[in-house]
């Protein structure tokens, strides 16, 4: 039972999600309006900071579990004037997110997996749902805050449980027939009349013959 005259064991920041928590999250990119078509940065998703660094301003919403609806804010590096390290970390993080969202092992190098790690633009990332590992970092004022620097892929033993899906084996491609359009069966044709089903038509009299019966002639 908590003592109301001793606060040494009180949690320092009750708003923090515990470090190392795995959670299913949805990424929302907060647009910064910066584009550079030569880099493939279009749609106004990227943000350019005062130092010249370019990043995606990520808002991650926890979708399920005890921390549902909680938000974590993390920058995803695209470019830094200090060198390629920050951009490399950003690319690695985005690769992990795609692996996690699309159920691909990080070790899978099949054509299907490689295609799944490609995007048409940042719009493909906006709304992406994946499993994240929530960590602790510090904000500009030195205060502890939650952040996400890593996506959990199907290689992790808890991925399927957190994501709520079955994991396909590496290189798996669904059978073609699974996507075959439905076959429309033509309406049944009425069965042909069988011989003897109806009485034969009476023979017609030959032209010029006496139509009276034989007994009346």
Taking 50 as the threshold, does the pLDDT of residue 104 lie above it?
yes
- Residue 6 neighbours by CB under 8 Å, 6+ apart: none
Name the nearest CA neighbour of 118 among 27, 33, 170, 40: 40
- Cα 87 to the chain's mean position, in Å? 24
Query: Which residue has better confidence, 143 or 4?
Result: 143
| Mean pLDDT, residues 179-201 taken together | 47
Pairing of strands 41-48, 54-62: antiparallel
67-98: pLDDT as tens digits:
999 999 999 999 999 999 999 999 999 999 99
> Which pLDDT score, from 0 to 100, does residue 13 have?
74
> Which pLDDT score, from 0 to 100, does residue 99 have?
97
128 close to 101: Cβ distance less than 8 angstroms: yes
Cα torsion 138, 139, 142, 146 to 10°: value is -40
Total-model pTM: 0.71
Taking 70 as the threshold, does the pLDDT of residue 161 lie above it?
yes
- The dihedrals phi and psi of 139, each to the nearest 5 degrees, come to -90, -175
55 close to 68: Cβ distance less than 8 angstroms: no
pLDDT band at 43 (very low <50, low <70, confident <90, very high): very high
Q: How many residues does the chain have?
A: 217
Taking 80 as the threshold, does the pLDDT of residue 177 lie above it?
no
The pLDDT > 70 percentage for the chain reads 74
Name the nearest CA neighbour of 120 among 201, 45, 217: 45
Taking 80 as the threshold, does the pLDDT of residue 217 lie above it?
no
Taking 90 as the threshold, does the pLDDT of residue 204 lie above it?
no
Look at residue 67 and give its three-state secondary structure.
coil
Give CA separation, 32 vs 42, 72, 129, in Å: 11, 18, 21
Please name every residue paired with 75 in a beta bridge, in sequence order, or none if there are none.
Answer: 57
Query: Which residue has better confidence, 175 or 17?
Result: 17
The pLDDT > 90 percentage for the chain reads 65
| Mean pLDDT, residues 156-176 taken together | 65
122 close to 41: Cβ distance less than 8 angstroms: yes
């Amino acid at each position: 039972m908590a003592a109301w005259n001793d606060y040494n064991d009180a949690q320092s920041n009750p708003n923090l999600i515990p470090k190392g928590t795995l959670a299913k999250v949805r990424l929302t990119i907060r647009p910064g309006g910066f584009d550079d078509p030569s880099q493939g940065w279009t749609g106004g998703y990227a943000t350019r900071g005062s130092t010249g660094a370019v990043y995606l301003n990520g808002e991650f919403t926890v979708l399920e579990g005890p921390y549902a609806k909680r938000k974590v804010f993390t920058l995803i590096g695209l470019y830094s004037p200090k060198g390629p390290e920050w951009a490399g970390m950003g690319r690695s993080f985005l690769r992990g997110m795609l692996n996690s969202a699309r159920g691909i092992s990080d070790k899978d190098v099949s054509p299907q997996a490689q295609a799944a790690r490609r995007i048409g633009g940042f719009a493909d990332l906006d709304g992406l749902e994946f499993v994240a590992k929530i960590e602790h970092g510090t904000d500009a004022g030195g205060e502890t805050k939650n952040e996400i620097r890593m996506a959990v892929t199907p290689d992790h033993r808890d991925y399927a449980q957190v994501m709520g899906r079955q994991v396909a084996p590496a290189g798996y491609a669904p059978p073609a027939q699974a996507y075959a359009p439905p076959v429309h069966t033509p309406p049944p044709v009425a069965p042909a009349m069988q011989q003897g089903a109806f009485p034969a038509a009476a023979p017609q009299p030959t032209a010029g013959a006496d139509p009276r019966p034989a007994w009346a002639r």
